Amino acid sequence: MAAHCLSVARRCLSCRHARQAQSRCKRQEHQPCGVSGTSPASTRDPAVGPFPPVWPPTFLAQTGDRVGRDDEGESDDCLPQPGTDIVHAVVDARATAAAQVARHAAISPEHAGQLFLLGAVHHAMRAPTPPPGVAPRPFAPTSYDAVTGHLHPPPPAQDAVRASKTRRVYDPHEVLEPGTYLRIHVSPKRFAAAHTRDAAEYRRRIIHEDDCYVVVDKPSGVQVVSRVDNVCENLSYVYGALTGSENALFPCHRLDEPTEGVLVLAKNGQAAGAFARVMGTMEKRYRALAVRAPPLGRLTNWMKQMPRAKGETQRMRVYDDESADTDAVVASLVVEDVREFNSYFEVDILLETGRTHQIRAQLSHVGCPLVGETLYCRGALARSDGPTRLGLHAYSLRFAEGSPGAKECSLQGLHLRSREAPWWSRKEEE
């Protein structure tokens, strides 16, 4: 029983959730909801890491047109977007969260149990009101307007927002009250690459650790931060668990999911703030594998986020001239060296600014897209016989001494290098 408490508590992202998980263990002999008293995670060797197991394909394929389901995804304002499978429901009887989730989403208790582990179940005292301009959408078991009226009497204006704010439900045995709102992400995005490494492998990837920071060698295919439908298959969470933190760590900067290399995570908000103050003086070097050889020297463009529909991947538009769009911001990098590598070109890059997808977008803009690039690659340069992994590796971070705010950052003066060679070099060695 004690081992199960620790196993569940390790998956909670705050001490409050940990206390809920521990109290849940005292009720394991009472299982009215049909969910097993032993979670799938608790039966595994703790060395495999703090992830729920990857679902079988039958679970991932459970989609369809069912009552109350939106085939639209989710944004920070908790409204639907295209691309995911979401159930919106009103709790119609006093029952456990697991019973409500399994019934409204029409899924098995085992499937529902994994949704709680992933943080894919959200609850609020009343349904959130859509912002201006968004048409009401039907929710199960009644319409959106009826749902709003069906809940508790309208609270005072200052309490309405608080009552509509959703929270994650981690405990399937938590009892939900009738008339409250439930949002279920039935098919959360999973990151199978997170499960190919055990806890020892993740620990081996720690480059540097002190009281404020954990610097890691990020593997490709794993998110840096959590998603609204998956809170634990990301590096901020896994290194929070491995370092004994009660919370996920703070990402000090971002690397795209397919990018590998040096990543800094802060253990608290104060350390994250200190890092932000020295980030402008940090040298960031990348190694890339390109389809064509880019010219040596500084490459300067202007970039702006492209309009996108909700749920679509963010893309950047690149301009050659500042006057092309007054809202665009400067993006600069230096191509320091180019070498031929197996019919491709290995490129050393000093990143002077840190825009979204900057290296990927700028090199594609000059006709030298990265190997494996699908977001910015021009069709004429795509090679059907080439590698599918993105050719981008963040291999070095150097922190200057004596810069403003440097005394507050314990990383000052350090030169942190990736311990792993880029994937294309490792493949060549094999």
Dist. CA 130–CA 77, nearest whole Å = 9
Dist. CA 249–CA 267, nearest whole Å = 5
User: What's the helix, strand, coil split of the chain in %, to 5?
Assistant: 30, 25, 45
pLDDT at position 219, please? 92
Q: Is the pLDDT of residue 266 over 60?
A: yes
Helix intervals (H) in 256-335: 269-278
For residue 13, what are the contacts with CB-CB under 8 A and spacing of at least 6? Answer: 119, 231, 232, 237, 240, 247, 248
What is the residue type of 55? W
Residue at token pair 């456990």: 96
Helix intervals (H) in 328-387: 358-365
Domains of the chain and any CATH numbers = 2-53+66-185 (no CATH), 283-398 (3.30.2350.10)
The model's pLDDT over 354-385, given as tens digits with 9 standing for 90+, comes to 899 999 999 999 999 999 888 887 543 545 55
* Residue 336 falls in which region: left (phi positive, over 0), alpha (psi -120 to 50) or beta: alpha
pTM of this structure? 0.73
Contact in structure between 115 and 184 (CB atoms under 8 Å): yes
Q: Is the pLDDT of residue 146 over 70?
A: no
Dist. CA 23–CA 8, nearest whole Å = 11
* Most confidently predicted of 60-74, 191-205, 210-224, 296-310: 210-224
pLDDT at position 190, please? 86
Cα 324 to Cα 24, 301, 302: the distances in Å are 59, 11, 9
Dist. CA 170–CA 245, nearest whole Å = 18
Dist. CA 207–CA 201, nearest whole Å = 12
The model's pLDDT over 25-56, given as tens digits with 9 standing for 90+, comes to 333 333 333 343 333 333 333 333 445 554 43
* Range of weakest confidence among 189-203, 249-263, 329-343: 189-203
Percent of the chain with pLDDT over 70: 67
| CA atoms within a 13 Å half-sphere pointing along the CA-CB vector of 135 | 2
Strands 260-266 and 181-185: unpaired
CA 194, distance to chain mean position in Å, is 12
Considering only residues 192 and 94, tell me which one the structure prediction assigns the higher pLDDT: 94
Which of 262, 191, 199, 272 is CA-nearest to residue 229? 191
8 DSSP assignment: H
Neighbours of 356 (CB within 10 A): 14
